[in-house]
């Protein structure tokens, strides 16, 4: 199920996590070359991604 990003926070391992509108969370790590999300390392980049939808596997499991 697709859910909008409503905010971000950093977890205990200093990785960025997207907070989704459904209440679930999803890591949005920037670890090239496997995970290339350089937008997550800047405040501006994160702000530009608010409202973007990510697929929430946890919502799928609840259904």
Q: Mind listing the pLDDT tens digit of every residue in the chain (63 residues)? A: 999 999 999 999 999 999 999 999 999 988 878 888 999 999 999 999 999 999 999 998 866
Instruction: Report yes or no: 29 and 16 within 8 Å, Cβ to Cβ.
Output: yes
Domain containing residue 19: 2-62
Tally of domains in the chain:
1
Alpha-carbon dihedral sign for residues 34, 37, 32, 12: negative
| Integer Cα distance of 60 and 21 in angstroms | 14
- CA 40 – CA 54 distance, rounded (Å): 14
Q: Cα-flanking dihedrals φ and ψ of residue 11, to 5°?
A: -85, -175
pTM of the model: 0.87
**Unique residue bearing structure tokens 């390392």:** 41
């Amino acid at each position: 199920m697709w859910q909008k990003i409503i905010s971000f926070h950093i977890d205990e391992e200093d990785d960025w996590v997207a907070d989704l509108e459904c209440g679930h969370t999803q890591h949005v790590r920037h670890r090239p070359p496997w995970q290339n999300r350089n937008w997550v390392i800047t405040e501006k980049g994160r702000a530009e991604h608010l409202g973007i939808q990510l697929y929430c596997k946890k919502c799928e499991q609840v259904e």
